[in-house]
Amino acid sequence: MKRTHPAIVIFLFFLGWVFMYADRNILSPVMGEIGEQWNLNNSQLGLMSTVFFIAYSIMQIPTGFLADRFGRVKVLVIGYILFGITTFLSGLASSFALFLLMRALTGIGEGTYYGSQYGISSNITPKKYRGIVSAVINSGMAFGISLGFIAASYFTYTLNKGWQFSFYLFAIPTIIVAILIGICVRDQSSHEKKQEVPHMKDSQNLKRLFTKNHLFVYILIFCSLYGFFGMLTWLPYYLQTVKGVEGSQTGIISSLVPWASIPGAIFFGYVSDKVKNKKPLIIFLAFAGAVCQFVIPYAENYSLLIAGLVFYGLLGKLALDPVLISYMAEITPSSMYSKVYGFFNFSGMLSSIFAPYITGYFADITGKLEIGFYLSGVLLIIGAVLFLFTEGSNRMTHFVQYYKPGEEQVK
């Protein structure tokens, strides 16, 4: 069967992230409306995101194994269609409990995407372009965040359509994208499985995903995503309740982060493709993201707040992601890409389970949402410091070559 041009595959994966992140972020600007409808406190508001991310996180590791075994495209498409259907049903929820159930099912559907998608894209992309291609695909997250923030704010507060309208609206293109991926994207995972070393036990294979370098990357992505999802969940609400910004404007201001991240991610993805040792770049971006997490809540001046948001977009999680994704591909055998990206994203998404709720919990206790930002900055510094202890890239490249699928082990 003729393969689809890689550019089309990359574009479809870009769209996949657009609607994944649009769905997540149509919730943030309307949390106040939902809270009023069902008389919710801050902890319960945070729980709406937490249940989604619990389900999403739980799916990461089994998805990686299922995708590598049964086909990455099949697993991705089935999950993505489920995600579209439950997004629509979220808008129909008649009670808070039912809404939580729909968000959990949406998380299960979206949970099939990360490992499957990056398993495919890392395979079709030459090593020298992995950083920039990952950045282009990742930029769909930025478009989705912005689209979700602005659309939910506009339809709910400007057009008075009700918070449910955005869930109905985004469900339709979501299902269309799933169908297009199923039609256009070809799967190579079955070919890779045939090339695996036949006498290598599963336990030996899994050890290759838990080297010291892998473990420190898992910790770093946890710390990076903690701040990112804490901010995505609470930033519009924070701007409304603490900074006094009108509800119709919070979507636009919050979108500064994703829009700024597009050039930042592409630039640093390009740089990561040009350097042999990605370690200094990764550490720089981690520390820079931490500084921005401190500046945003500390800023009393409106201009400084805007600057903090813009620089977080340029240097934060979305800029760090493509560099880490490329780095993981370098230190992992290609036959295990879906598995390693499953563990990678599971590690990061564990933080998303805690961040929305913990931020709301501290806000209820102290009356201040700023504590959540400061905690995020501290965690990111910890992750950056631990990453300092990773081994050199040359040694890890030799490790991957040593276990290259289809070849006998070097004696």
Q: Are 305 and 243 in contact (CB under 8 A)?
A: yes
Residue given tokens 């999950």 in the structure block? 79
Q: What is the pLDDT of residue 2?
A: 59
- CB 359, CB 206: distance < 8 Å: no
- DSSP-derived secondary structure letter, 388: T
- Amino acid sitting at position 99: F
d(CA 80, CA 156): 26
CA–CA gap between residue 67 and residue 77 (Å, rounded): 11
150 touches 9 (CB < 8 A): no
pLDDT at 337: 85
| Cβ proximity of 266 and 314 under 8 Å | no
Tell me how crowded residue 198 is: count the other CB atoms within 10 A of its CB: 7
- The pLDDT, as a whole number, for residue 398 is 46
| pLDDT tens, residue order, the chain (411 aa) | 456 688 889 999 999 999 999 998 888 788 888 989 999 887 788 788 788 888 988 898 898 888 878 888 999 999 999 999 999 999 999 999 999 999 999 999 999 998 888 888 888 888 888 888 988 998 898 889 888 888 888 898 889 898 999 999 999 999 999 999 999 988 765 554 544 444 445 555 778 888 999 999 999 999 998 888 777 777 777 777 777 777 667 767 777 877 888 898 899 989 998 888 999 999 999 999 999 888 887 777 777 878 888 888 889 887 898 899 889 988 888 878 888 888 998 898 888 778 877 888 888 888 777 788 888 899 999 999 999 999 865 445 444 444 444 433 333
Instruction: Using the structure block, give the residue that is written with the tokens 């999403």.
Output: 56
**One-letter amino acid of 277:** N
The runs of H, that is alpha helices, within 26-71 are 31-38, 42-70
The answer to whether 157 touches 248, Cβ cutoff 8 Å, is yes
CA dist 192 and 342 (Å) reads 17
Contact 87, 174 (CB under 8 A): yes
The Cα 81–Cα 18 span in angstroms is 15
What is the SS3 string spanning 104-134? HHHHHHHCCHHHHHHHHHHHHCCHHHHHHHH
pLDDT of residue 199: 44
**Contact yes or no for 152/21 (Cβ under 8 A):** no
Q: How far apart are CA 278 and CA 398, in angstroms?
A: 16
CB-CB neighbours of 65 under 10 Å = 15
pLDDT of residue 403: 45
In sequence order, the 6+-apart residues with CB closer than 8 A to the CB of 25 are 144, 145, 147, 148, 149, 152, 232
Sign of the C-alpha dihedral, residues 83, 87, 88, 94? positive
Give the CA-trace dihedral at 278, 393, 68, 136, to 10 degrees: 20
Max Cα-Cα span within the chain = 70
Residue 47's CB is within 10 A of a number of other CB atoms, namely: 19
Which pLDDT score, from 0 to 100, does residue 181 have? 94
Query: What pLDDT is recorded for position 401?
Result: 47
C-alpha span between 395 and 279 (Å, rounded): 13
Question: At residue 405, what are phi and psi to the nearest 5 degrees?
Answer: -60, 140
Q: List b or e across 328-362, with b for residues whose CB sees 16 or more CB atoms inside 10 angstroms.
A: bbebbbbbbbbbbbbbbbbbbbbbbbbbbbbbbbb
* Structural domains for the chain: 1-187 (1.20.1250.20), 209-392 (1.20.1250.20)
The Cα-based distances of 88 to 36, 99, 168, 223 in angstroms read 21, 11, 5, 32
Q: Please tell me what DSSP assigns to residue 1.
A: -
Write the DSSP assignment of 215-278 as a string of letters.
HHHHHHHHHHHHHHHHHHHHHHHHHHHTS---HHHHHHHHTHHHHHHHHHHHHHHHHHHH-S--
Please report, as a single letter, which amino acid is at residue 342. G
